[in-house]
Amino acid sequence: MSAAAKSIAIFGGAGFLGRKICENGIALGYSVISFTRLGSPPANLAKEPWVSKVNWQKGNIFEPETYKAQLRQVDAVVHSIGMLFENTNYKKTLNSNVNFLNDVQNLANSLKGSNPMQRNSFNTYGAVQRDSAVLLADEFVKQFKSAHENSTDKPAFVYISADKNPPIVPKEYITTKREAEFELMSKPDLRTIVLRPGIMYDAKAASLTPRGILTLMTQLGHATKQVVVGDQVSFLNDLVRPPVSTDKVAFTLYDLLEDKLFSGICTLDEMAL
């Protein structure tokens, strides 16, 4: 294997951060495989020049048979799958143009939790944020060892975690993230890299969306804190966190991947420097 990993598989590659990891990987010369439910990029990205250079694959993270062959072809895997609420109505709200009444209704539905009649073992915090990551990591180690029988290298596994539990989001969100971190970092045959971003934004995206407005409010709140009290009040440092761009998170990911001596946790404060 080369001194720096140059092939990567991304699970959640069509997501808000995942697509930026794909894009930056292509820009850095990586061979990129992106797994999505449909095996294709989001329609709104079709004209982006990097999209055609990604190997889009259909896969179900809970069914290793759908992706284990491709894992033999890569040096690193990224788990970028997660959810703020078990009811996913909030995704429509965050990424759409502002429509106050619809946004309020979607958020209200998300806060109610998932419909018990529709809930199954694969759309809970524990399944999506912890169990799927552990399952993927175990399969990756297995396939890596099979494909590199004489290698002493450890395969690199990147887990996208979170800085803090967001306001109004159930505590299980961050609990299952931390449980996944512990499980992954306990695996002796894996070089685990954990990224803990906070609120993320796309620097190129339109600002007139709920996500864009949330970013502006977060930036304003953090800038005000820095001017008024700086970093002198510890509880405010924990409460008022800086937003970080998806570009910054993605480039940090690749920087850490290429530093073969690094494993462990990269915090929001380290990314935001």
- pLDDT tens digits for range 182-241: 999 999 999 999 999 998 888 776 554 555 555 555 555 545 545 554 565 454 445 557
Position 117 pLDDT exceeds 80: no
Give 101's pLDDT tier (boundaries 50, 70, 90): very low
C-alpha distances out from residue 46 to 24, 29, 36, Å: 16, 20, 15
Tell which residue, 58, 57, 37, 62, has the closest CA to residue 133: 62
Q: What is the pLDDT of residues 244-256, one digit of tens each?
A: 999 999 999 999 9
Q: How far apart are the first and last CA of the chain?
A: 31
Per DSSP, the three-state class of 77 is strand
- pTM of the full structure: 0.81
Q: Determine contact, residues 228/221, Cβ cutoff 8 Å.
A: no
Q: Could you give the residue ranges of the DSSP H alpha helices within the chain?
A: 18-27, 68-71, 89-95, 100-111, 125, 132-147, 172-185, 210-228, 234-239, 246-258, 268-271
Tokens 């020049």 -> residue: 49
Q: Determine contact, residues 77/158, Cβ cutoff 8 Å.
A: yes
Q: Determine contact, residues 8/28, Cβ cutoff 8 Å.
A: no
Measured CA to CA, the distance from residue 118 to residue 87 in angstroms comes to: 10
Q: What is the pLDDT of residue 228?
A: 54
Query: The sheet that has 7-11: what strands, in order across it?
Result: 55-58, 31-36, 7-11, 76-79, 156-160, 191-195, 264-266
Q: Given CA atoms 132, 63, 137, 3 in this order, what sign does their dihedral have? A: negative
Q: What is the pLDDT of residue 166?
A: 82
Measured CA to CA, the distance from residue 37 to residue 60 in angstroms comes to: 6
Q: What is the pLDDT of residues 17-63, one digit of tens each?
A: 999 999 999 999 999 999 998 899 988 888 899 999 999 999 999 99
Measured CA to CA, the distance from residue 260 to residue 236 in angstroms comes to: 35
Q: Determine contact, residues 75/8, Cβ cutoff 8 Å.
A: yes
> DSSP 3-state helix, strand, coil percentages of the chain (rounded to 5)?
45, 15, 40
What single letter denotes the amino acid at residue 194?
V
